[in-house]
Amino acid sequence: MTELTADLIIDNGTVVTDSATFIASVAIKDGKILAVGAADAMPPARERLDATGLHVLPGAIDVHVHFREPGYTHKEDFGTGTAAAACGGVTTVFEMPNVIPPTGTKEALALKHKLAAEKAYVDFGLYGLLGEDTIANVPDLIEGGVIGFKLYMGNTFGNTPSPSTGGMLEAFEVVAPTGKRISLHAETASIMARREAHMREQGRIDPLAHIAARPALVAIEAVSRAAILAEWTGARIHILHISSAEELRPLREAKARGVDITGETCPQYLLLGAKDYARVGSVIRVNPPVREERNQEPLWAALADGTVDMIATDHAPHVPEEKIRNDIWTADCGFPGVETQMPLMLTEVNKGRMAITDYVRWSAANPAKIWGLYPRKGVIQPGADADIAIVDLARHSAVDDAKLQSRAKITPWHGRKLHGVPIHTIVRGRFAMRDGVLCEDARGWGRSVHTIQQMPKAEPRHQGDTMLAIGRTPAGSEDAA
């Protein structure tokens, strides 16, 4: 028998899965988890890390980040964005297509793959843009390697035009048989445009005007409409950044009807509220808006009961000059979040808000399952990628915008107290952060994760009646059924 030597053993930490915690050692070899078990059952190793008293979590999977490259690299690029992820315990990110040029063609996708692979500290999936003009590009984008698609039902940063309901239906019809999930910015553009125009006419420029322009109704209407189209076509959809209590009803009802619909919320909707507008001013402007405090409890409850599946961040960096404005309509929407999500949530674990196993379910296991990456990612068990966040639940800290890795050093979290922070991040066996410090030599280590590992078969519906099919088949013929 040849001697087996692990590359690294993490000794005696508390390993966390989505359902259990237990003290164990974790052996890593060739980027994968080799063994999980008693310290004295481990093979010899080149390196051992004592994790006594620390928690060993699957690295977070953040399915909603904007890294701005190409086109807006003064805000962020794949290097700074994934460095922020690494320093936040996040080992995989799914990155959005609202860049210049938008990631809606095979050329734009190939360029982004190249830029990301050169600089990424963590693994990444790239979203393809699904808009009125890119429906025909779906096969090319899948061939080029996308984790899924992004469809903008409402305007937001980048002003990607939102498809008509007809365009959206056709897009769903085309994507449904591929099994790829469509992530939706679910706010209805036409409602927001009219409300904002009226408020501008009346001279409202204060931060709270942003909530008034985009009330929960825009999200309720969009989620409901998207769920109907997903139900009809069998397309898999994901509702991004759920911000209100009222959106939960159409989401819950669609799930109960068997629609393959999932949802995320973000720390800003769980932990911030309308009162914070006075404190941080225009910096808080984000789409959808941070809402009245009464929404927080229902969102937490929806995570707990599984209506909302996961926590993502919508990491949306803009530099201070673009954020600090007297006229709210001129402040860019969004702020960084990929680096602060884990410590903010661990702080809630420490407060007793949820168990650490719940956090792992929402931050790692569920995202991996929902995009077909499980059990390669999202769990610490033999055979999985060694994507690990080692956290110290006892450590106290505070958010300091100036110390963030993001190029956009401005957030509404500045000064917020933290209790529980990631201290080491390992991506496929390699340190991306060690003792709280970014490992520069991990730049370029991140790889694309667009291949679905395990997913139920796609179940497209009404395929004989799609826009493309009715063009091919004479009306009334048997095939049209």
Nearer to ligand NCD among residue 37 and residue 71 (C-beta): 71
Told to check if 334 binds ligand NCD by CB under 6 A, we report yes
**Residue count at the site for Zn ion (CB under 5 A)?**
2
Told to check if 185 binds Zn ion by CB under 5 A, we report yes
| 3-state DSSP assignment of residue 95 | strand
Nearer to Zn ion among residue 185 and residue 315 (C-beta): 185
Task: Report what 99 binds from Zn ion, ligand NCD, none; CB cut-off 5-8 Å by kind.
Answer: none
Told to check if 287 binds ligand NCD by CB under 6 A, we report yes
Of 113, 180, 185, 361, the one binding ligand NCD by CB under 6 A:
185
Nearer to ligand NCD among residue 283 and residue 368 (C-beta): 283
Which residue is listed with tokens 């979203």?
Answer: 127
| 3-state DSSP assignment of residue 339 | coil
Nearer to Zn ion among residue 185 and residue 450 (C-beta): 185
Task: Report what 89 binds from ligand NCD, Zn ion, none; CB cut-off 5-8 Å by kind.
Answer: none
The minimum distance between CB 64 and Zn ion, in angstroms, equals: 8
Burial of 136 (0-12, 13-18, 19+ CB in 10 A): exposed
Told to check if 183 binds ligand NCD by CB under 6 A, we report no
The minimum distance between CB 302 and Zn ion, in angstroms, equals: 19
The minimum distance between CB 406 and ligand NCD, in angstroms, equals: 12
Nearer to ligand NCD among residue 287 and residue 425 (C-beta): 287
User: Interface residues for ligand NCD in 298-317 (CB under 6 A)?
Assistant: 314, 316
How distant, in Å, are the alpha carbons of 8, 271, 345, 346, 348 from that of 351? 33, 13, 10, 9, 5
Instruction: Compose the 102-141 pattern: x for residues touching ligand NCD by CB under 6 A, - for all others.
Output: ----------------------------------------
Told to check if 69 binds ligand NCD by CB under 6 A, we report no
Burial 294-324 (b: 16+ CB within 10 A, else e): ebbebbbebbeeebbbbbbbbbbbbbeebbe
| 3-state DSSP assignment of residue 131 | coil
| 3-state DSSP assignment of residue 251 | helix
Q: Is 400 left (phi over 0), alpha (psi -120 to 50) or beta?
A: beta
The minimum distance between CB 190 and Zn ion, in angstroms, equals: 17
Which residue is listed with tokens 């977070």?
Answer: 60
Of 12, 80, 98, 262, the one binding ligand NCD by CB under 6 A:
98
* C-alpha of 226 from chain center: 19
* Percent of residues in the chain assigned helix, strand, coil, to nearest 5: 35, 20, 40
